[in-house]
Structure 1
Amino acid sequence: MKQFIIVAAIALLATAPARSQGLVDPSKVAPEYREAAEKRRAEQIRQRECALKADLAKVLPRDRTDYLNHCLDTMAAKQ
């Protein structure tokens, strides 16, 4: 049993942590896809701003999706 626990602990320590998707860099994209990359970057920035607002407002996890959708809709309406 000890061997199993040791092997499991080593396996957990050896795995790389999962990272979230980074911001798209339009300058590193082929010219024909640059416009789409710029739109994607703007959307990612809006999503991060709303996520930060949710964190600051201490929104519960069960209410977070509704909060983020409302925030994104509000930002889209302002533009």
Structure 2
Amino acid sequence: MKQVIIVTTIALFAAAPARSQTLVDPNKVAPEYRKAAEKRRAEQLRQRECALKADLEKVLPRDRTAYLNHCLDALAARQ
């Protein structure tokens, strides 16, 4: 039993923590891919904005996907 606890503890400390996806930096990308990186960054910022709105409005997890899709569609329609 003691060995199981030791192995479990080692496995927990050895596992890398999960991190969210970082924003794309167009300046760190090769010049031929810069335009695509700028588009990706803009999309990431829109997604973060909608996620922040969902957090502020305390949207339930079961309704979050529908809310985010609606928010992204509304942002796209404005532009």
* TM-score, length basis structure 2: 0.94
Q: 1:34-73 counterparts in 2 under 5 A?
A: 34-73=34-73
Gaps of at least 5 residues in structure 2 are: none
Render the CA deviation track for 1:36-74: whole Å, top value 9, x for unaligned.
Answer: 000000000000000000111111111000000000000
1:20 aligns with 2:20: yes
Identity fraction in percent: 82
Cα RMSD of the aligned pairs, angstroms, is: 0.8
Unaligned runs of 5+ in 1: none
CA distance in 2, matches of 1:28, 1:9: 38
TM-score of the two chains, using structure 1 as the length reference: 0.94
Greater CA deviation, 10-19 or 44-53? 10-19
Partner of 1:75: 75
Task: Provide the rounded CA distance (Å) in 1 between the counterparts of 2:13 and 2:60.
Answer: 30
Q: Which moved more, 1:10-19 or 1:58-67?
A: 10-19
Counterpart residue identity of residue 11, structure 1 = A
Return structure 1 stretches of 4+ with deviation > 2 angstroms.
none
